[in-house]
Every structure is written in structure tokens, then in C-alpha cells.
Structure 1
Amino acid sequence: MTTTATEVPTPATPARSPLDPALVDRLAALVTAAPGRPRQASYAPFDGALIGEVPTCTADDVREAQRRAREAQRAWAARPVAERCAVFLRYHDLVLDRQEQILDVTQVETGKARTSAFEELADVAMTSRYYAHTAERHLRPVRRRGALPVLTRTVEHHHPKGLVGVISPWNYPLTLAVSDAIAALLAGNGVVLKPDAQTPFTALAAVELLYEAGLPRDLLQVVTGAGKDLGGPLIEGVDYLMFTGSTATGRIVAEQCARRLIGFSAELGGKNPMIVLADADLDSTVEGAVNACFANSGQLCISVERMYVEDAVYDRFVPAFVERVQRMTLAAGLTWDAEMGSLVSEQQLATVSRHVDDAVAKGARVLAGGKARPDLGPLFYEPTVLEGVTDEMVLCRDETFGPVVALTRVADADEAVERANDTCYGLNASIWTTARRGAEIAPRIQAGTVNVNEGYAAAWASLDAPMGGMKDSGVGRRHGREGILKYTEAQTVAVQRGMPIGPLPPGIAPDRYAAVMTGALKVLKRVPFLR
């Protein structure tokens, strides 16, 4: 079976998108760019309609954005943490209250279903609430055990890095532009955000509400343009970088940050496994698998692309899963009807088609889907289930990042875990079995997050716990304590009283000092609360 990528129509005078032109122009004006910069047009994946234009920023614009954000950061860092938190509690309410506008912009710009767009919006609100309620606790000075009991008072402080760069991707342009910035801002930093060139308006819509919530206008700057042009200048002028994207680009970013000796965090690619064991509840597993594989049209770093099904349940699970996939509703439009929307670009459609075609040509069997759907829109591709995928097929190892899952029969849980770990990636995993058994198996899987009887949302939405990848899937973590403290510099302040640790106290011979310290160290070993 062969499918051909369908190009987005770009007529000489394309139709306008359903977004209000005044809104689009207002959002474009938020970009930090010198007057007269060339403009870059953005088109809607659903139908190729013109959304609007944003400035094509230059390195000079990036440096100006960095200058403004650094200047604003000093006053922001001096404000009490409680005042910073109040901004994000207001933001939480604004995001929920203005959700219709935000969902429209997100859908028009990405082509995703409205339910997938709402996942993003809910995540932003939840992240705002979480850090607004916990930032003071995470950032407050912490008393640490001193070198000598009573005589040494040691306190750990956390200071803002200064200026944080955020480079966000197109697949979750709301969540991944703003949620990472929230933690950085609450830690007292300024932020320069570069959203993906395909999806600038969603990020700008979120930023506009931040300004309305009371965030200082210069503190968060947005620059738009191609990553190859702006990534280098952005990294050159910040103190820390948060990047979400491909593993290949992540390596380049890591090298650039290393040359400057600045910290960075990166969530990268994944080839995420799902394990279905014989004692799983069949009905809930089928429904969960549909969401785990095809949410956001499979364009989700933590979605499932490999499924390992225990032999004892394979012949019951697979027909039920395939039948449910074939009943999925695909549609374009700003309604709640569709379970799955469009892919975002010609490039993604071409990648998905190439992976599926290569697998089929080498012997894989299509159980559902397997072709583009230009009748629904220029970038639609059916949710696809394959069987018989082998190592020589591109789809077996490479991240497809689309609505495609490969099914494999395994003998038991041990084989499933072994197959799940047989990858260079380690971002997310999913296990379907009894709760107790799942909790026992999960730590054996080499992934930063593992969900039991859920695809990805349970771990992702547990905002008090760290989220990130093992192996080639990333560096560092977002969410929880780790997700805000990474934007700070830890400082240890130790105050010594009475007998100093060194140099030798006046009038005490070196051998006598050593004897006293030796005795003290032996005593301290036996004191439980000092171990």
C-alpha cells in the first residue's frame, strides 16, 4: 500500500482563518522586533487558510529582548515571592475564563482536536495553580546539617539564575511555551521565549493573558522566527535554557550550552511502549490505548508508538482495539465532535507516510488505517495499527510522531519489559494490569515516567513529581521541586561559632587538635540524628 503526502494549498490569495483579524494583529504586535522586519505568514493545517503574519526576528531583536528582560528581572526578583504568586493565581483564572478564544487559536494553528487543545489549556491552569501555591515552600531558605553540631549553622539559599531562554515546539504550543516559563518566572527570572515558527500565535495568546494578569511587560519577551537563525543568539545571551524538541536538535543545543557553561534542561524524543498483560481489564485498556496512541494525532512526545500484548490476551485484545480505532471520529473544525484532528505540517504527513509505507513494503500488516485522508483536509492521516513490524523497518526504532502504533505479541511480562527497554529512548511508558502488579513492574522499565492503567496523563498531571526522560529522551526534569529549583543557583551559607574547623585554634598543638577531632568524629558516628 502506498500513500502520498498531500501538500497544504497556499493560494495566491488564501482564505482567512476563522480567527478575528484584530486578535491576530494584536498578538503579532507582542513580538519583540524592530519596525520594518519581514513578516512570516502562518497557515491553518485544517485547510491552508491564512492565519496571519508575525515578524521574522533577527539576532539583534533577540539581544534587545534579552536586554529588556534582564532589566525588568532585577525589580521582579526583589518582589516578595507571594506577590509573584498572586500574578499566577490571577492567570489561572484568566486562562479558564478565556478558554474559548485560546482553544480556537490553538486548534486553528495546530489542526488538533478540541479535546487535545483542552488538555493543553488545563495543563497551563494546573501548573499555574501548583507553582503559585508551592513556590514559597520550594524557594525558601532551608536549614541544613552543619559541619559541627551547634557550632556550625548552615543554610541553603536559592537565587534566580537571571535570564532563562525557553525554546518551545509546535506540537503543544500552549503547554510547552508557558508552563516551563511559569516556573522560571516564579523563581525570579526574566524569560525570553522563542515559540516554534509554525505555531507562534498560540504562545502569544497565552503571553497576552500573562500581561493582563499583572506580569511586567518587559519581563517576558517573545521572539519569532526559525530556530536555526535565533537559537544561537538566544543561547548566547541567557543564563539557563529550557528546550523541548527532537533528540537530534537537543544534542546541538547541549553543545552550545556547554560552550558557555550554562545549565540546560531538555525534553527530547521518545518511542514509548505500552504493555498489556492478561489480567488487564479489556474494555478500559482498549479505550485507554486509543487515547495513549492517538491523542493529538500521535504528535505527542509521551504518546505510545509500541504496544506489547501478552499472548494469553492478544487474540481478544487486538480485534477489540482495531474495531475501536476504526470507529474513531476524524474531523476538522472548532467543535468537540472529533476524537482526532489533523497533522500539523506537510513534513509530519510525509514522515508518517514514509514510515508506514516502508513497514508495509517490508512485510508489516495494516490492521487499521494506513493512508492519508485528503477528503477530510490536506494533512489528515488515519489512526493506524500495524502488526509484524521488524527491526529492518524504519518505524521499528525511529520516532514516528504521528498516529501509528505497532503491535507485538509477547510471552509474558518479563519479555514485555525486555522489549520495552530495547530502545535508545526512555521518556514514558504505560502498563495495563492489576494496580498492585503494575506498581511492582513499573520500576523495571527504563523511562522517566511510567503510568499504570493510564497512557500518559496520570504521571504528567502529577505536578508535584518530576517529569523527564532517561537515555536519549532528555536531560533534567520539569514539574515539582526539581522543575522550579533548576532555574535557581543554590548557595550554601555556613556560620561558624566557637571552635573553628580550621585553621588550628590558637595555642593548640596540631597533634592535640587531631586527637580532639578524632574523638569528636567517633562520637558523632554514634549519634543517630547526625548520621
Structure 2
Amino acid sequence: MTTKTTEVQGVRPGWIDDVRLASWTRWVACVVSGGDGTLTATAPYDAQPTLPVPSVTPADVAEAAATARAAQPDWATLAFSDRAEVMLRFHDLLVERQDEVIDLIQWEMGKARFHAWQEVLQVGTIARHYARRGPTYLADKRVRGAIPGVTSVKEVRVPKQVVGIISPWNYPLYLGVGDVVPALLAGAAVISKADPQTPLTLLWARALMAEAGLPEHVWQVVTGPGAATGEAVIDNVDYIAFTGSTPTGRIVAQRAAGRLIGASLELGGKNPLIVRRDADLGQAARGTAMAAFANTGQMCVHIERVVVHEDVYDAFRQALVAETEGQVVGQVFDYSADVGSLASQAQLDKVTAHVTDAVSKGATVLTGGEPLPEVGPYAFAPTVLEGVTDEMDLCLGETFGPVVALYRADSDEEAVRIANQGEAGLSASVFSKNVREADMIARRIRAGAVNINDGAALAAGSIEAGMGGMGSSGLGRRHGADGIRRFTDAQTLAASRMGPIGPFTGQTVEKFVQLGNGQLKALRKLGAR
């Protein structure tokens, strides 16, 4: 494979100066502590410190929640069109200044530039979509009343007061802002917890939202150590949206349940891709490489397991190895690299440990399989293995790196069985020239989204369709109608044209019951619902 490098020192984007930093860090909610403490991440390209940001305390989080709660009623009272105008201005500013945030994403997280640009594409699409379709998703819904013609009933959406959003480092713009947009459009106020690895990207977005016209206190950002800050967010909001690992997601769910607040959780995956006997092997190999190595494999929906029909296994293996060895691995602030760096030493250690464990227990590395220190401190070669068995950590444990394993299957039934192994159920793919049969197979795979003749991008990019997991991969959905309705409560409004429903003045209860029974029989006979 080809490698590209930058200078290992001084990769901080030159346009970031102290004035810029101050314009971002002013948005950290640290009123109580005064920002006495700081945290500083490590840049993946050179393993050097980025820039310090204030580290908040639980008291800061509580004060931020109170401030947001006080600001929310005025924000919710605005016409939806006024809130939408803010989001559309944000959309335009994001597109105009995308090079800034793409630089930040690369510097803080280490991904290739194309994958950083995809975050701009997703957030821009989300902002535009919910600004335009939000009124439809949140519209009052009229339903039949208890007594047709006498009562009228409608369901309305009432915004949560304060929504908490805890987002991870692997998509600091998309996952950091993609849930904020529909929450704000729904009329809620928001507290976002930035991941300690990538706080600058989220703070840049918060400053841009202010420039777009968002009132100052409606979106609060907190930056601090993971557990303590995250717990404080959950303890002070009315709903929590969390994206991250399954073990942490279980903790979030338990804490939210203790407070009887709602939660949506997008968690880990061990996503399979099925290559049927009739698949176009060139397309399947290219799609597998794109989905396995995108974002350096640090993507909840990326492909980690490929199940191939035995009749085409050898030919597909050869094609996938060729695609993998054609990947350009590099640390550059342009679009010439296909695969970037892992985000941290911890990620490098985990990926290396998974591959080493698999090889020690009999797996074969077909290509890659080792770090690339000549590229960067956390770079790892795109890797394809075969012979992975159940006792290996890599088999069903989420690797979250540029590593994919091949499995043989002698039939569609066997392929589906292998695909459904384990507790995760986030994303999956099927490659086949027969889309109708692939659709039937897709319905048998336990996953929140299944892509046909694509690795991962089709479903994730279809903003009108819900995105989320089954099994241990989470609860709830982002995107689509559920992606904005989850930030509201359903309220039923019922009205009577004749006053209280019950026996009329002078009417016996028995007579009222008799009339009610007559209504039941008549409606049943008419076939009414």
C-alpha cells in the first residue's frame, strides 16, 4: 500500500491563533468554577498537545442546565420558521467555512480529509432537512374522539425543556451537532458534552451557530472529564441522547432510568457484509474496502466481518486484498490520502491487541496487520484476515479500526446465521445482482439498517429514514421523524362540544350504559375502528 506523511512536528493548522481559540472557549459553560481547570488533548498526527480548553465541574453543569432551562420558553415560543431560519443560516455558514472545521477535525481526530468533509455533508443535510420538514414531523395530529361528532381530539408535540447530548470523538461534528439541530428546532434547549479528544470542533460549531443567530443561552457546551461530566449532564436534563460504546451506554441507560427520563442510545456494532454467489465481485470488494477503512475504521457502522459464498470466496479474497493494498495511508491536510491515523494510543493499542490475539490463535493476515510508524505515531495498516474463530477477541468484539475478517458460507442461510452472531445489531450489507432476493435476505438480518450493494453510506446518508440499532447496539433512532420527535413529549388535547361526558341531567346511569352498549354494537356492525 502507498503511504504519505507530513512533517511529524507542527501540524497545528496555521490559521488557529489565540484570538480564534478565545472566540471558541468563551462558549464553555464554566460560570461557577471560573474555568480554573483545563484539559488538553493529543493530536494524532504528531502525538503533541493540541490546545487547552476549560474543564468544567458538576456545579458548572448544573448552572448551565438552569440557564438553558430559563432560556428555553422564549426559544420555544418563536415560530418554527424563525428557528428554521437560524438553522439555514448555520447551514450556509458551515458550507462557506468548511475548510476551517475540516482542518480542526483532522487535527483533533486524525482522519483523512475526505472523511472529515463527509461530516460537513451530513450536518448540512440534517440542518436543511429538519428546517424544511420539521413542521410536518411536528404537526398536530387529529384523531377520532371518544364520541364521534361530539368530541374532538388531537395529539400535539411539546418540546422537552433541556436535552443533554453526549457525543464521541470519532465524528466530532456530525455526532456532536447532528443531534443538536433537531433538538433546537423542536424547541428544546441543549447541553452538549464535548469529548475530551475533540472539544475544539464542537466549540467551533457553537460559535458558528451564534453567528447564525442562535440566542446565547439556548445551547450550552460543557467540556470536562468523561464520567463525572457525563453523569452531571444526565442528572440535570429532561432527555439524554448518547452515542458511544455499549458498556458506557448501559451505564447511561441505568442513570437515565433512575431519573425516569427518556434516552436514545446509538452504541457499538460488529457489522457484517454478505457477498452472495451472484455478486459483482469488483463492486463488492470496492464497497467492502470503503466501508471497512472509512474513518480509519473508527465508525460505528463500519464493516468488520465479511461473509462470502464459498463459490466466489477465492476470487473475492484476491479482489479485496488488491483493493486494500491500493489504499493510500497518510497524514495530510488535502484529499490525497484514503486512510488517516487512528485517534489515539489507546485505539492503536486496542487494534494491535485484537490482531495479535487473532494471529496467535491461528488467524492469517492476508495484508496489513501492523502499525505504520513511518506514517505517524498512531497509524495502522488497512488489514484483512481470514481464519478468525469464536475464541478470538476480534471475532465478535468491536475492533474499531481498519481491520476486516473474511468468513466462508455455503449458502444464504449460513451467511445470515453468521451475520446474526453476537448481540450487536447496528448495520449490515448484502452484495448481489438480484436486488429482490437481497432484499429478502436483508429482512432476515438483525440490524437497524441494511445496505444493498453498498457498504454503509446509503442508509446513514438517507436522512429521512431512522438510524439506530437492535440488540446491544442501542435504543431509539436519529434521523427521520423519530430524530426530532424524540426531543418532544406527546400531549393529547381533547375537547367536548357538550360539556362533561356522562349521564345527562335527569338521566339514569343504567340508561347511559344502555346507550353506550348500543353505540358499541352499532359501530361493530358498521365495521368502524
Partners of 2:526 and 2:205 lie apart in 1 by: 53
Q: Which residue in 2 is equivalent to 1:286?
A: 285
Q: Is the 8 A contact 2:41 2:51 kept in 1?
A: yes
Partners of 2:86 and 2:499 lie apart in 1 by: 47
Partners of 2:35 and 2:462 lie apart in 1 by: 45
Give the TM-score, by structure 2 length: 0.95
Q: Is the 8 A contact 1:65 1:221 kept in 2?
A: yes
Give the CA deviation at 1:523.
1.9
Give the CA deviation at 1:248.
0.4
Q: Is the 8 A contact 1:16 1:51 kept in 2?
A: no
Give the CA deviation at 1:319.
0.4
Partners of 2:496 and 2:70 lie apart in 1 by: 36
Q: Which residue in 1 is equivalent to 2:478?
A: 478
CA offsets, 1:317-355, max 9 Å, x none?
Answer: 110111110111000011100000000011110000000
Q: Is the 8 A contact 2:11 2:107 kept in 1?
A: no
Task: State the SS of the aligned residue for 1:450.
Answer: strand
Q: Does 1:465 align with 2:504?
A: no
Q: Does 1:28 align with 2:46?
A: no
Q: Does 1:175 align with 2:171?
A: no
Q: Does 1:448 align with 2:448?
A: yes
2:441 counterpart letter in structure 1: I
Q: Is the 8 A contact 1:16 1:50 kept in 2?
A: no
Q: Which residue in 1 is equivalent to 2:39?
A: 40
CA offsets, 1:208-232, max 9 Å, x none?
Answer: 1111111111111111011112111
Give the CA deviation at 1:16.
6.4
Q: Does 1:18 align with 2:13?
A: yes
Q: Which residue in 1 is equivalent to 2:3?
A: none
Partners of 2:66 and 2:500 lie apart in 1 by: 44
Q: Which residue in 1 is equivalent to 2:97?
A: 98
Partners of 1:42 and 1:525 lie apart in 2 by: 67
Partners of 1:195 and 1:101 lie apart in 2 by: 18
CA offsets, 1:384-426, max 9 Å, x none?
Answer: 1110000000111111111111100101111111111111000
Instruction: Quickly say closer, same or farther: Cα 1:495–1:105, change in 2 above 3 A.
Output: same
Partners of 2:353 and 2:346 lie apart in 1 by: 10
Task: State the SS of the aligned residue for 1:153.
Answer: strand
Task: State the SS of the aligned residue for 2:327.
Answer: coil
Task: State the SS of the aligned residue for 2:305.
Answer: strand
Partners of 1:70 and 1:499 lie apart in 2 by: 36
Give the CA deviation at 1:271.
0.5
Deviates more, 1:481-490 or 1:24-33: 24-33
Task: State the SS of the aligned residue for 2:178.
Answer: helix
Instruction: Quickly say closer, same or farther: Cα 1:499–1:223, change in 2 above 3 A.
Output: closer
Partners of 2:204 and 2:36 lie apart in 1 by: 21
1:16-165 to 2 correspondences below 5 Å:
17-19=12-14, 20-22=16-18, 23-33=20-30, 34-165=33-164
1:126 counterpart letter in structure 2: T
Deviates more, 1:245-254 or 1:44-53: 44-53
Task: State the SS of the aligned residue for 2:306.
Answer: strand
1:441 counterpart letter in structure 2: I
Q: Is the 8 A contact 1:17 1:50 kept in 2?
A: no
Q: Is the 8 A contact 2:87 2:128 kept in 1?
A: yes
Unaligned runs of 5+ in 2: 1-7
Q: Is the 8 A contact 1:17 1:49 kept in 2?
A: no
CA offsets, 1:31-69, max 9 Å, x none?
Answer: 112435122122210112332110111112111211221
Give the CA deviation at 1:15.
4.4
Q: Is the 8 A contact 2:40 2:50 kept in 1?
A: yes
Give the CA deviation at 1:120.
0.7
Q: Is the 8 A contact 2:431 2:438 kept in 1?
A: yes
Q: Which residue in 1 is equivalent to 2:522?
A: 523
Unaligned runs of 5+ in 1: 1-8
Q: Does 1:377 align with 2:376?
A: yes
Partners of 2:424 and 2:526 lie apart in 1 by: 44
Partners of 2:56 and 2:459 lie apart in 1 by: 37
Q: How many residues align?
A: 517
Give the CA deviation at 1:497.
2.8
Deviates more, 1:57-66 or 1:406-415: 57-66
Q: Is the 8 A contact 1:499 1:505 kept in 2?
A: no
Task: State the SS of the aligned residue for 1:55.
Answer: strand
2:457 counterpart letter in structure 1: A
Partners of 1:71 and 1:520 lie apart in 2 by: 48
Give the TM-score, by structure 1 length: 0.95
CA offsets, 1:427-464, max 9 Å, x none?
Answer: 00111112222222211111111111111111111111
Q: Is the 8 A contact 2:273 2:307 kept in 1?
A: yes
Q: Does 1:307 align with 2:301?
A: no
2:483 counterpart letter in structure 1: G
Partners of 2:205 and 2:186 lie apart in 1 by: 19
Partners of 1:18 and 1:92 lie apart in 2 by: 23
Q: Is the 8 A contact 2:11 2:46 kept in 1?
A: no
Q: Which residue in 1 is equivalent to 2:399?
A: 400
Q: Which residue in 2 is equivalent to 1:245?
A: 244
| Root-mean-square deviation over aligned CA pairs | 1.4
Task: State the SS of the aligned residue for 1:223.
Answer: strand
Q: Which residue in 2 is equivalent to 1:4?
A: none
1:309-324 to 2 correspondences below 5 Å:
309-324=308-323
CA offsets, 1:138-193, max 9 Å, x none?
Answer: 12221112122111200111111100010000001110110101111001011010
Partners of 2:205 and 2:455 lie apart in 1 by: 27
Q: Does 1:268 align with 2:267?
A: yes
Partners of 1:173 and 1:121 lie apart in 2 by: 11
1:80 counterpart letter in structure 2: A
2:13 counterpart letter in structure 1: P
